[in-house]
Structure 1
Amino acid sequence: MFTYKKENQLPIKSWIPEKDYYADGKMVEQVENLAQLPFAFHHISQMSDGHVGYGMPIGGVMAAKGVVVPNAVGVDIGCGMCAVRTSLTEIDTETIKKIFGGSKDYHGGIRSCIPVGFNHHSKRQDESLMPERPDWWADDFYTVQKEYQSALTQIGTLGGGNHFIEIQKGSDGHIWIMVHSGSRNLGFKVAKHYNEIAIKINEKYFSQVPKEWELAFL
């Protein structure tokens, strides 16, 4: 980890090695934009998985005083992450190939049964698999309510990019299944909704934050 500070900016702590940090100029620009925000607190951190995001870099960490920045929360809000321990303690390569499928030798399996990226199920899935909804949720969660029926087609699907399904051997000796599903468009819609509100408010009250930084706040 190294730390640096420019004039009239908060300190920046980077967990990306210094020799690699400056290779991505756009990411560095986004980090340094954060360090100039009037509501940013104490310092800005950049984790080792850093790359360009919407306004705020992926892996960026910022404490904000008195405001919420929708793009800092990110379009991956509600991104699913889960690790499940199986009863297995061993699994052979051929079995793994069969589970994942998608090759000329193995048909079916994860690759052919689970929609990935922009794909989704053609029919709504079992609603009982969704989290229980409190009585008041429709009034307070407009975007989720609006997208709920579409979300039913996303149950059991997998995001593109850095999302994954893995079979792992745990330190406890058991075989684990780890899933990083993504928020399956719902997170994007929620973030977009509140970012658009933030942009209008910032324009109305002549925010100091440049619009091109994509860091409108509520």
Structure 2
Amino acid sequence: MKKTILSEPIPIKLWLDDLEEGAMQQARNLANLPFAFHHIAIMPDAHVGYGMPIGGILAADNTIVPNAVGVDIGCGMCAVQTSLHRVSREDLKLVMATIRASVPLGFAHHRTPMPHDLMPQPGDRAALPVITVEYDNARTQIGTLGGGNHFIEIQQDRNGHVWFMVHSGSRNLGFRVANHYNKLAVELNKRWRSPVPTAWQLAFLPFDSREGQLYYREMSYCVAFAEANRDLIRRQVEYALRENISPDISFSAPINIAHNYAAVESHFGKKVLVHRKGATSARAGEHGIIPGSQGSNSYLVCGTGNAESFASCSHGAGRRMGRKQAQKQLDLEREKRRLDDQGILHALRGRRDLEEAAGAYKDIDEVIANQADLVDVVEVLKPLAVIKG
């Protein structure tokens, strides 16, 4: 931990030296919530988000906050080690072309719904009203990457093993659930004359209320859907590797983790709702993934179970500039050279792509160093080729 701020009703604990003022104000808002428990934890990749900093952890007493989870519910990472020890540039090009042909990117969906058995089963439809309406649409979204910072990357570890990594979430399904319950929370908070200012964008639902339970069940379904989504993409990547390199390639069991969700956990002697928004669970002995930006290393880690972070760690490098700012300020040719000089097959083509250039993100090595008390590094993965959403 780098510092603790004691000016608010509960402490704010930070794992970074400098936090942009917008994100700091959001952290202060969190610390002033009447239901916030014990302290607020801010990870080293933190930056401003909607209502709550991305890279923040809020423990809440009998309360759930849709905007403290965010719109991409269940977004997370999947990593798989292959039996390959080398892969040629030409083979990589073929693999990436096959992936692009089988995994819809950006706003694209499948043209026909995917089979029911690929979807988490909703069970009691009355308990999942938004999911019930959106279920058939979601069948066209499972196995799709999405846009923004979502990616598929082929990597190599320090011992030469080839890996691949997938970053994706719950697609439009999670967006619909998040917006529905945040809007509902805003309406109810106005009716209750909530002490939480509307401008904070932190409308809440009592966890033991009908609305709070409905949101928690639908959020949990979206977390399961996002995991299934990454798993289907994983199968497509495995197919592309076997089809273009060798049918005899074997694969490790995947690490598949989420970094946008809320969960009932016990901390400091109390059962609370832990909201991780752009943060990953890092219980003692738990394996996790902290990806870098396009062109920088990613890390496989093992949690230390540090109580001060609510047993959490960062979910990535974290942005150092906004998307529009990156498009305006970064030098396209310099960013392309940074990747070309490393021999990485990359996705930078025009100025619009600069929003996901390495220069738009914090130094991943510094981010990892700042959380040495939260995780132990297990493996370092160097990028070989990347597809961006």
Equivalents in 2 of 1:85, 1:168: separation in Å?
Answer: 9
Matched, 1:135 2:131: no
User: 1:123 aligns to what?
Assistant: 112
Kept in 1, the 8 Å contact 2:155–2:165? The answer is yes
CA shift, 1:172, in A, is 6.8
CA shift, 1:135, in A, is 3.5
Instruction: Kindly report structure 1 stretches of 4+ aligned residues shifted beyond 3 Å.
Output: 6-9, 170-174
Residue deviations 1:21-73 (CA, integer Å, cap 9, x gap): 2xx32222211111111111111111122222221111111111111111112
User: 1:36 aligns to what?
Assistant: 32
CA shift, 1:86, in A, is 2.6
One-letter code of the match for 1:95? Answer: D
CA shift, 1:162, in A, is 1.8
- Return 5+ residue gaps in structure 1 as ranges: 102-108
CA shift, 1:17, in A, is 2.3
CA shift, 1:123, in A, is 2.1
Kept in 2, the 8 Å contact 1:50–1:59? The answer is yes
Kept in 2, the 8 Å contact 1:202–1:216? The answer is yes
One-letter code of the match for 2:2? Answer: F
One-letter code of the match for 1:205? Answer: W
User: 1:68 aligns to what?
Assistant: 64
Equivalents in 1 of 2:130, 2:69: separation in Å?
Answer: 16
CA shift, 1:165, in A, is 0.7
- Return 5+ residue gaps in structure 2 as ranges: 206-389
Aligned length: 205
User: 1:105 aligns to what?
Assistant: none
Kept in 1, the 8 Å contact 2:156–2:163? The answer is yes
What SS does the aligned partner of 2:83 have? coil
User: 1:191 aligns to what?
Assistant: 178
1:24-173 alignment to 2 at 5 Å?
24-101=20-97, 109-131=98-120, 133=121, 135-136=123-124, 138-170=125-157
CA shift, 1:112, in A, is 4.4
CA shift, 1:2, in A, is 2.2
Equivalents in 1 of 2:8, 2:161: separation in Å?
Answer: 52
Kept in 2, the 8 Å contact 1:80–1:183? The answer is no
Larger displacement relative to structure 2 (33-42 or 172-181): 172-181
CA shift, 1:116, in A, is 1.8
Kept in 2, the 8 Å contact 1:164–1:180? The answer is yes
Relative to structure 1, the CA distance from residue 80 to residue 8 in structure 2 (aligned partners, 3 Å threshold; closer, same or farther) is closer
What SS does the aligned partner of 2:64 have? coil
CA shift, 1:173, in A, is 5.2
CA shift, 1:176, in A, is 2.1
Equivalents in 2 of 1:8, 1:32: separation in Å?
Answer: 7
- Structure having the higher strand fraction is 2
One-letter code of the match for 1:14? Answer: L
One-letter code of the match for 1:188? Answer: F
Relative to structure 1, the CA distance from residue 68 to residue 12 in structure 2 (aligned partners, 3 Å threshold; closer, same or farther) is same
Kept in 2, the 8 Å contact 1:85–1:175? The answer is yes
Kindly report the root-mean-square deviation, in angstroms, between the aligned alpha carbons of the 2 structures. 2.0
Query: Percent identical across equivalent pairs?
Result: 54
Kept in 1, the 8 Å contact 2:80–2:163? The answer is yes
Kept in 2, the 8 Å contact 1:114–1:156? The answer is yes
Equivalents in 2 of 1:87, 1:210: separation in Å?
Answer: 54
Relative to structure 1, the CA distance from residue 162 to residue 155 in structure 2 (aligned partners, 3 Å threshold; closer, same or farther) is same
**TM-score normalised by L of structure 2:** 0.49
CA shift, 1:80, in A, is 4.6
Kept in 2, the 8 Å contact 1:31–1:57? The answer is yes
